[in-house]
Structure 1
Amino acid sequence: MPEGIHEAFPDALAAWLADRLREESGARVTGVRLGPLERPKAGQSSEMVIFGARWREEGRERSAEFVLRRQPGPGGIFLHPDAVREARVLRALASRSRAPVPAVRWVEPDADVLGGPFFVMDRVPGRVPAAKPSIHSHGWLVPLSPAERRRLWESAMDALVAVHSTPWRESHAFLLEEGVEPGLESHLRRTAQWYRWAADGRPFPTTDAALAYLMDRRAEVAAGEPVLVWGDARIGNMIFGPDLSVAAVLDWEVACVGPAAIDVAHWLVFDEFATAACGVDRLDGFPGRSETIARYEAASGRTLRDLDFFEILQAFFLATTLIRQADAKIRTGTLPAGSRMAHGNALTQMLARRLGLPVPDLAEDYLAHRYASPGTA
């Protein structure tokens, strides 16, 4: 049984699925059987389960492959996790965007069914690059030719442009806070609230300085017209088909409406994180920063300004996720209480260099975390 899944989970899921299949088909559904429950190899979420199902519908044998995404509890990374919201984001994308996303089949807001609200999607066949320790040193992208990697990268960039082309006022206006204008100011306010919750009154010198920098300079930034922001824009959050095109764009937990530069900066920061920041050479075929910006601007028709500011913002975002990950590991006993993982990691080093601060050493606990298994930061 995957970690975090209790013994009653499969039976409860099978019973719930049987009811949903009956409602969907209007037919007599019997004998629902689940295959093995698996965690995805890529991604850091501890709340995603891949499973197959078989059942009989009016006497005929049926089967399908599904992915379940369950809302994490209070020990999760984000302050206000909302699986129902994420499912709504996906459904709106499926109906109004050119960006490919998995089809959401069912949404369950009742936390009593499986221990938290959840939704179930159709499984999209394909492969996801594993981000740990780096897509440039491990995984199935390494043996590809430079031309193949270039084709994959171009498809990924096109998918990001498609996300930002979504008519969000028609499809995703529900993401707006009532009476609050979408833009950098509201995004920074939410990010600061989340960071202070994650820090919980503790000093984190590098990220504290980064937040002060962001708040001090926000009025000088040209944010541009708001778009639908993916929030975790990177190749490691995409499924690729056999032709190396994007089959699905994944992980919409922090989607919002705001500056397009948030996503482009996130892409750039994660690219640096997977190469220069961890001493890994870039694979041939994957363009660097300047070509990525040029490709995005040409394809989207937008001019990106103040990207240095947004790159600090997204490095700060990723560094904050590491504070939460370290705390979770300390709670479960996989890290000692005095761990320095949240202080000394590749993201705090990147921030320190950008801000002209002393660069912290990499903590041994962070290195063990980074090279342990596939995942994110």
Structure 2
Amino acid sequence: MSRPSENGLSSETLFFTATWNGDSTRCVARLAPAVEAVPVFPAYDLRAQFEIMRLAREKAGIPAPRTLWFEPDPAPLGTPFFVMERADGQVPPDVMPYTFGGWLHDASPAEQRRLQDASVGILAALHQTAFTAEELAPLGEAGLRAHVAAQRAYYAWAHGRRPIPLLERAFAWLEEHWPDEPGPDVLSWGDARIGNMMFRDFTPVAVLDWEMAAVGPRELDLSWMIFLHRFFQDITTGAGLPGLPGFMRREDVCATYRELTGYEPRDLDFYELYAALRHGIIMARVWQRRIHFGEQPMPDDPDDLVLHRATIEELLAGYEPAS
């Protein structure tokens, strides 16, 4: 049994091999984190993750790992868990970010574009698949309002004792610039980014980490995929390196998505800021975990808990009319 060495903050992951009737299967177990680990999220609905992965694979043809079994009883391992088949492939790393170097950074522009288009294709296939209300019921209330309300509740849980003014400004901006007609609701992967995919020959062979899945507008996934690249790109240029400036550009991602689905993404300024805000809540929570475990001190300015503070400030300034 072993643990992965890259990517992933939200739950415990174990690798093992299961053998029965003379056959062996390489498996991955996902475990809900213990309370004393100061988890990133307030709740981990492993049954919902298990079912949504199965649906995405069986109905939408998404290469999510094949799910094997779910165990709600905490007795065997001390916490609920589910098991899926283990996949193999290359993952664009978070640490150090793929924008700093490595196999994707060093690939040709054509190979990078193949990976980008194939990744957008995953979103297109998922969003174009019809699911029943019963199938999506484990994910709770649908729609943009419900999604933002859930993020407000998450923010209050994670940071309520010490508000973060920058994130509250972003929430206020969203209310002032709410889309007139949010797009139709679809199954949203939630953590839709290339760091949650495995690739072979620049083609996705596994789509991982479904704990943020929800039912809402298509733009939730599109903006998350675009923004998460910007997040790593900004870190890279801040370090004085070029990164991948031509990768995952909004206009290219949206053009590919439009070609694949016939749907024209809308209100991307709104959704990009929302993606930055959502990621800001997560990163501030991760930062507070580090503080809790003595890995760094609490900053004097709570906005400094947000690693990409400058990016959110830039987005807010860019979207607001000059005074």
Q: TM-score, normalised by structure 2?
A: 0.89
Alignment of 1:1-377 (within 5 A): 36-53=1-18, 55=19, 57=21, 60=22, 62-74=23-35, 75-169=38-132, 172-175=135-138, 177=140, 180=141, 182-218=142-178, 220-241=179-200, 243-279=201-237, 280-283=241-244, 286-338=247-299, 343=304, 345-356=306-317
Greater shift in the superposed pair: 82-91 or 281-290:
281-290
**Matched residues in 2 for 1:251 and 1:335: separation?**
27
Question: How far did 1:140 drift?
Answer: 2.2
Q: How many residue pairs were aligned?
A: 313
**Matched residues in 1 for 2:82 and 2:194: separation?**
23
Contact preservation (8 Å) 1:195, 1:320: yes
Question: How far did 1:169 drift?
Answer: 2.2
When residues 171 and 136 of structure 1 are mapped into structure 2, their CA distance, relative to the original with a 3 A threshold, is farther
When residues 287 and 320 of structure 1 are mapped into structure 2, their CA distance, relative to the original with a 3 A threshold, is closer
Give the % identical residues.
33
Question: How far did 1:217 drift?
Answer: 2.9
Question: How far did 1:249 drift?
Answer: 0.9
Contact preservation (8 Å) 2:233, 2:245: no
When residues 125 and 277 of structure 1 are mapped into structure 2, their CA distance, relative to the original with a 3 A threshold, is closer
**Matched residues in 2 for 1:192 and 1:71: separation?**
22
Cα shift readout 1:10-51 (whole Å, capped 9, x = no counterpart):
xxxxxxxxxxxxxxxxxxxxxxxxxx4122423334411222
**Matched residues in 1 for 2:20 and 2:189: separation?**
38
Cα shift readout 1:240-276 (whole Å, capped 9, x = no counterpart):
12x2211111110010110111111111111211213
Contact preservation (8 Å) 1:52, 1:63: yes
* Superposition CA RMSD, Å: 2.2
**Matched residues in 1 for 2:254 and 2:196: separation?**
19
**Matched residues in 1 for 2:302 and 2:125: separation?**
36
When residues 105 and 67 of structure 1 are mapped into structure 2, their CA distance, relative to the original with a 3 A threshold, is same
Cα shift readout 1:84-108 (whole Å, capped 9, x = no counterpart):
1111111111221121110011101
**Matched residues in 1 for 2:263 and 2:138: separation?**
22
Question: How far did 1:176 drift?
Answer: 5.0
Secondary structure of 1:76's counterpart equals coil
1:3 is aligned to none
Secondary structure of 1:257's counterpart equals strand
**Matched residues in 1 for 2:165 and 2:124: separation?**
35
Contact preservation (8 Å) 1:71, 1:118: yes
When residues 120 and 298 of structure 1 are mapped into structure 2, their CA distance, relative to the original with a 3 A threshold, is same
Query: Which is greater in Rg?
Result: 1
Question: How far did 1:345 drift?
Answer: 4.2
Secondary structure of 1:211's counterpart equals helix
**Matched residues in 2 for 1:282 and 1:221: separation?**
36
Secondary structure of 1:136's counterpart equals helix
